[in-house]
Amino acid sequence: MWYFVVPEVVFGQDALSRLAELKGKSAFIVTDKNIVNLGLIDKVKEQLSQAGITSKVFDEVEPDPSLQTVRKGISLMSQHKPDWVVAVGGGSVMDAAKAMRVEYERPDIKAEEINPFISDLGLGIKCKLVCVATTSGTGAEATFAVVLTDTADQRKLSLINREIVPDIAIVDPELARAMPPGITSNTGMDALTHAVEGFSCTWKNDFTDGLCIRAIQLIFVYLPRAVKDGNDMEAREKMHNAACIAGIGFINALAALAHATGHSLGAVFHTPHGRAVGLFLPYTIEFIGEAREELWAEIVYSLKLEVPKGKKAASVLAQAIRDLARTIKEPLSLKELGIPSDKLNSSMQKLIDNTMADGSLIVSARVPNEEETEKLFRYAYEGKSIDF
Amino acid sequence: MAILFGTQEWADALKKAVEASQAYKEAAKNWEGDIYIIVEPDASYKYRNIMYLDLWHGECREACLIKDENEKSPKYRIFGPFTNMKQILDKKVDPVQSMMTGKVKVKGDMAQIMRMPRAAVELVNCMTAFETVFPE
């Protein structure tokens, strides 16, 4: 027995106007200063005001949101007493908003206590949650996962519970137009990693497979175009859709080893999430290798690529992903990422411990031990294909 | 040789399997907390079994059957009907998915479980590392 959970998804040009149809009195907008500066919050407020909804803005969400930021938001939210929480931003904003909404509705459950084993949260009584995506990567607008950073412990908390899924996901490509090329590329790699891991993890299922494959196809075609020209609105729309589709695909299966290693790296070196998981993706495909060879072949086939005689689909796929990453100017190794080798060495045990403790690891088709995890980091540092 | 489920011999075999598992040692190296695994009777099984495991930093310090649930106060209680527990031991369902769908329930410090989800998976792997025979 398993579940397939998805919010109402409103997508395409003018999807933001769904906000004007909401029923309610007050909204608490969760966002970051960059989104405010881009003028996107004005657009959101305008739609909400058409619905007769007043709004209060909390714009203090930082990249890799901390528990402390979430606490601050909850405090303000509790004063404002909204019937809608509207998250406008990328994964960090949407994750913070999901966590704030839980604790606002259920003060007895602290954000860091959100876990998949609790049920009957009874959300949706005090407020409902709308997530408006401004990046095309995390798919957080449609997922029930939250990643927060415990700054004291230098680790990321991957929290999950299917009841925290947003009520409405708004996927309006116009909101992604302002994304600079660097963010377009690394968030796109995040979406690709979701789709590949959702398709290949041990919890993959019939409901998610098609979504993941379609997302992979879209990303390979449209990500380079979106990076090259942010005003290519066809590419923007397809990437926005792909990210949401990949989000739905992976959250109902799960992400795996690239996420475990990527989370670990991000917590120590503050690498943007998409860049970190995307960098590890080809290495983890090679590491998992034989255990998922048929699935790698299915992906390769869906991309209309061929597996030459004597080669493995895992290595063809890993190379295709490296080629894509190179095209969009994403780093292929930790060295290219600019991590000094002495820092890597001094952080190695922390990187290993974080990886081993990451929830994503349990659905990897091949789980590395500590020694193999260290080798994964060292190979990824050198940009060396995995051969163990 | 297959070992009968719900016996002290089975608990001993599990303790040995934990001691032999490098994967468990790594996954649970920071784990602190004892556990009750409570198998509840259902249409296929008429007994109520309580197994106590004292797990500490990758080691199993004690594994025994308990008659009275109040005998100890473990940090965690994992409980579910026999049929659902058996499906896990038969590797027909994933233990974490089983907990996420409420087929098997967990009570205790969830924050620690969320920090070490692999410890739970590797513990179940230890349970399936030897052959089990179930009562008729």
Instruction: Annotate chain A with three-state secondary structure.
Output: CCCCCCCEEEECCCHHHHHHHCCCCEEEEECEHHHHHCCHHHHHHHHHHHCCCEEEEECECCCCCEHHHHHHHHHHHHHHCCCEEEEEECHHHHHHHHHHHHHHHCCCCCHHHCCCCCCCCCCCCCCEEEEEECCCCCCHHHCCEEEEEECCCCEEEEEECHHHCCCEEEECHHHHCCCCHHHHHHHHHHHHHHHHHHHHCCCCCHHHHHHHHHHHHHHHHHHHHHHHCCCCHHHHHHHHHHHHHHHHHHHCCCCCHHHHHHHHHHHHHCCCHHHHHHHHHHHHHHHHHHHHHHHHHHHHHHCCCCCCCCCCHHHHHHHHHHHHHHHCCCCCCCCCCCCCHHHHHHHHHHHHHHHHHCHHHHHCCCCCCHHHHHHHHHHHHHCCCCCC
Calpha distance B101→A157 (Å, rounded): 21
Contact B110 A362 (CB under 8 A): no
> What was the pLDDT predicted at A329?
97
| Closest CA–CA distance from residue A369 to any residue of chain B (Å) | 7
Compute how many other C-beta atoms are within 10 angstroms of the C-beta atom of residue B9: 13
Q: Are B89 and B127 in contact (CB under 8 A)?
A: yes
Q: Which residues, at least 6 apart from A17, have a Cβ–Cβ distance to it below 8 Å?
A: A47
Residue A230: the pLDDT is 96
Model confidence at B14, in pLDDT bands (50, 70, 90)? very high
Quick one: fold of B3-133? Nonspecific Lipid-transfer Protein; Chain A (3.30.1050)
User: Could you give the ipTM of this predicted complex?
Assistant: 0.88
B78/B39 Cα distance (integer angstroms): 9
The DSSP-derived string for B51-113 is EEEEEETTEEEEEEEESSGGG---SEEEEEEHHHHHHHHTTSS-HHHHHHTTSSEEES-HHHH
If we measure between CA atoms, which residue out of A248, A245, A271 comes closest to residue A259?
Answer: A271
Q: Is the pLDDT of residue B136 over 80?
A: no
Contacts of A116 in chain B (CB under 8 A): 96, 99-100
Q: What is the pLDDT of residue A149?
A: 84
Q: Locate the chain A residue with the closest alpha carbon to B78.
A: A117
Q: Say whether B114 and A369 touch across the interface (CB within 8 A).
A: no
Alpha-carbon gap, residue A275 to A330, rounded angstroms:
7
**pLDDT single digits (tens) A260-286:** 999 999 989 999 999 999 999 999 999
d(CA B43, CA B82): 9
Q: Determine the Cα–Cα distance for residues A254 and A385; give it in Å rounded to an integer.
A: 25
- Return the pLDDT at A158: 79
Written out in words, the top-level CATH class of the domain with range A8-176 is alpha beta
Contact at 8 Å (CB) between A50 and A77? no
Q: Residue A284 and residue A192: Cα distance in Å, rounded?
A: 13
Dist CA B91 CA B128 (whole Å): 8
Mutate to test the interface with B, among A4, A102, A113, A117 (most CBs of B within 10 A): A117
A113 touching B (Cβ < 8 Å)? yes
How large is the average pLDDT for residues B113-122?
A: 85
Contact across the interface for B96 and A362, Cβ inside 8 Å: yes
Q: Along the 388 residues of chain A, how does pLDDT read in single tens digits? A: 999 999 999 999 999 999 999 999 999 999 999 999 999 999 999 999 999 999 999 999 999 899 999 999 999 999 999 999 999 999 999 999 999 999 999 999 988 888 888 888 999 999 999 999 999 999 999 999 998 887 777 667 878 999 999 999 999 999 999 999 999 999 999 999 999 999 999 999 999 999 999 999 999 999 999 999 999 999 999 999 999 999 999 999 999 999 999 999 998 999 999 999 999 999 999 999 999 999 999 999 999 999 999 999 999 999 999 999 999 999 999 999 999 999 999 999 999 999 998 889 999 999 999 999 999 999 999 999 999 9
Q: For residue B74, what pLDDT band results from cuts at 50, 70 and 90?
A: very high
B-chain CB neighbours of A357 within 8 Å are 30, 115-116, 118
- Say how far apart CA B93 and CA B84 lie, in whole Å: 9
Q: What is the pLDDT of residues B104-116, one digit of tens each?
A: 999 988 777 877 8
Helices A370-382/A273-288 angle, 10° precision: 110
Task: Indicate the DSSP class of residue B46.
Answer: -
Q: Give the pLDDT score at A281.
A: 98
Over residues A326-350, the pLDDT tens digits come to: 999 999 999 999 999 999 999 999 9
pLDDT at A115: 87
Contact of B121 with chain A, judged by CB distance below 8 Å, is answered with: yes
Give me the sign of the Cα torsion angle A4, A10, A13, A19. Answer: negative
> Regarding the domain delimited by A181-382, which CATH topology (the fold level of the hierarchy) does it fall under?
Dehydroquinate synthase-like, alpha domain (1.20.1090)
Which of 47-106 (B) contact A at CB < 8 A? 94, 96-97, 99-103, 105-106
Q: How far apart are CA A281 and CA A366, in angstroms?
A: 14
Q: Which tokens sit at A313? A: 């689909």
Contact of B23 with chain A, judged by CB distance below 8 Å, is answered with: yes
> How do the domains of chain A map onto residue ranges?
8-176, 181-382
